[in-house]
Amino acid sequence: MDFLKLSIIQAIDEASEELEELSKDIWRNPELCFMEHYAHEKLTNFLERKGFVVTKKFILETGFKAEVGTTKMGPNIAVICEYDALPVIGHACGHNLIAEAGVAAGLGIKAALGKMEKPFGRITVLGTPAEEGGGGKIDMINAGVFDNIDIAMMVHPSPETSSHCSSTAIDRAPNRQELDQLKDKMRCCFDSAAIGTGCQV
Ligand SMILES: [Zn+2]
């Protein structure tokens, strides 16, 4: 598994300058919920350049999906990007970083999939508009976008470290049996996050 981990690290390291510029570009051009046209264009063009099959304006005007791989032999892993800003204070919530991290994770997982002996699984980078008050993910859930996704994950920047899962899905789940074990582990992560925040899974 180490060679897969290495390919992930390499792919992200190689793109680090471009990723940073992508994030700063979005930060310099803040857009409110459902109006993230600039970020949508930048992110989808970037992912296209990196070899993803991109669907622009997916479900929503500023939504997108970018895919690589097949679900015939493995899971569909979604990494979520947010990229909307707040009125007056711009990207104070750091959604430009969520976009950067989502794209970076997508690049890493794509690289790992490319190293597998046989086709295994799909990586879907999902652009979900309007987290700041618009609820773009709700529209996407209602449209069935998550129905064929096995695992969805994203990060949100914070000054503190909070609940997280330190595993890498593709690293931990080379087959169906181990995927089931991974699901159990992730279920525990979600349960602990829910307990910590007073929510229900
Ligand atoms: Zn936020």
Q: Give tens-digit pLDDT for 108-158.
A: 999 999 998 888 899 999 999 999 988 999 999 999 999 999 999 999 998
Task: Report how far ligand 1's centroid is from the alpha carbon of 56 (Å).
Answer: 23
**Phi, psi (5° rounding) for residue 86?**
-105, 155
All residues at 6 or more sequence positions from 156 whose CB lies less than 8 Å from its CB, including other chains = 82, 93, 94, 98
Say how far apart CA 81 and CA 162 lie, in whole Å. 19
Task: Report how far ligand 1's centroid is from the alpha carbon of 96 (Å).
Answer: 10
Task: Report how far ligand 1's centroid is from the alpha carbon of 98 (Å).
Answer: 9
Q: How far apart are the first and last CA of the chain?
A: 31
DSSP class of residue 135 equals -
Most confident of 1-10, 62-71, 115-124, 169-178: 62-71
Task: Report how far ligand 1's centroid is from the alpha carbon of 5 (Å).
Answer: 29
Nearest C-alpha neighbor of 19 from the set 41, 50, 62, 63: 50
Task: Report how far ligand 1's centroid is from the alpha carbon of 4 (Å).
Answer: 31
Task: Report how far ligand 1's centroid is from the alpha carbon of 148 (Å).
Answer: 26
Task: Report how far ligand 1's centroid is from the alpha carbon of 131 (Å).
Answer: 7
pLDDT digits (tens, 9 = 90+) for 43-85: 999 999 999 999 999 999 999 999 999 988 899 999 999 999 9
Task: Report how far ligand 1's centroid is from the alpha carbon of 86 (Å).
Answer: 9
What's the confidence (pLDDT) of residue 164? 56
**Phi, psi (5° rounding) for residue 166?**
-90, 10
∠ CA 164-180-5 to the nearest 5 degrees?
Answer: 55
Task: Report how far ligand 1's centroid is from the alpha carbon of 133 (Å).
Answer: 10
